[in-house]
Amino acid sequence: MAAAPTVPPPAAADDEIVYESMPCIRVYANRVERYFGSEFVAASTDPATGVASRDRTISPQVSARLYLPRLDADAPAGKLPVLVYYHGGGFCLGSAFNPTFHAYFNNFAALANVLVVSVEYRLAPEHPVPAAYADSWEALAWVVSHAAGAGGGDEPWISDHADFSRLYLGGESAGANIAHHMAMRVGAEGLAHGAKIHGLVMIHPYFLGSNKVGSDDLDQAARESLGSLWRVMCPATTGEDDPLINPFVDGAPGLEALACGRVLVCIGEGDVLRDRGRLYYDRLRASGWSGEAEIWQVPGKGHTFHLLEPFCDEAVAQDKVISEFLNR
């Protein structure tokens, strides 16, 4: 289970609060205080699952934690699907190295039998969006550098075990937003060594828009906070109809250019962002995009519930759906 946020101190009376979402983060005009998501746990071999993890520095700004499932003793050189994963947290919270994601991927890598590259990107508001996109692209390019064959790249887990015909991008919440934009950039620019994205996993994606959708009314305060959050994390934004946060708006790059053959969208019935995720699925299918899209809705659960309740029946079911998607 995800660790509970620490109890935050009272707000400083003489400092201007620009944004807060308690008990997780408070953004002052001159500093940021995070109370959740920044805890660190070391890479290790998980005794329960046999999944091994280790950390790699990609550049001074970007790093990643890799998860390698226990290899079949009869086929130790076997190739695995690769999931390049971007964590969520509203572009301002979370870490590839925190206990929540570490525990999640120890279990998920074993379930799905995939090699996971969990990306650590710079957080806003200290590094405003689009810094997260730039870092995420750098990480993807690093992974793909290993597709050249013998001598390509510098990480043997990827060189030895990655099946680049089964390269996936994924993320939850803001991480799903990032994964979408990475797939769109691949469509515009391509990848080195002829690498292609096989599929995209969008878990509870963080998209907004000035148009009203039904799930906005599930929690009006949360919906307003998500709009405020975006404006603080991306100060140069034009608002909720910025194509970075609303890929359906007029002037946004056409979804038909999404550079993958398959997409899975996971949504939660109780999530205020539910219908933005459904809209993504609907617009993608109507766009002329030539791939195959699937949508899966979990009953009764809210945003990123699976990180807070990783062993509940609904989280287990969602992980199974994602695992099956990655192995088809």
Positions annotated as catalytic residues are: 173, 271, 303
The number of beta carbons lying within 10 Å of the beta carbon of residue 151 is: 8
- Cα of 292 vs its chain's centroid, Å: 20
- C-alpha distances in Å from residue 78, one per residue of 68, 140, 163, 324, 325: 12, 22, 9, 19, 19
| Cβ partners under 8 Å of residue 124, min gap 6 | 91, 92, 131, 132, 232, 233, 234
> Strands 260-268, 162-172: parallel, antiparallel or unpaired by DSSP?
unpaired
Residue 4 Rama label (left phi>0; alpha psi -120 to 50; beta): beta
Cα(289)–Cα(84) distance, rounded to whole angstroms?
22
Closest alpha carbon to 266 in 187, 320, 192, 191 = 320
118's enclosing H/E stretch is strand 115-120
> Strands 115-120, 63-68: parallel, antiparallel or unpaired by DSSP?
antiparallel
Does residue 219 sit in helix, strand or coil?
coil
Order the strands of the 80-86 sheet from edge to edge: 52-57, 63-68, 115-120, 80-86, 162-172, 197-203, 260-268, 292-298
- Cα of 12 vs its chain's centroid, Å: 33
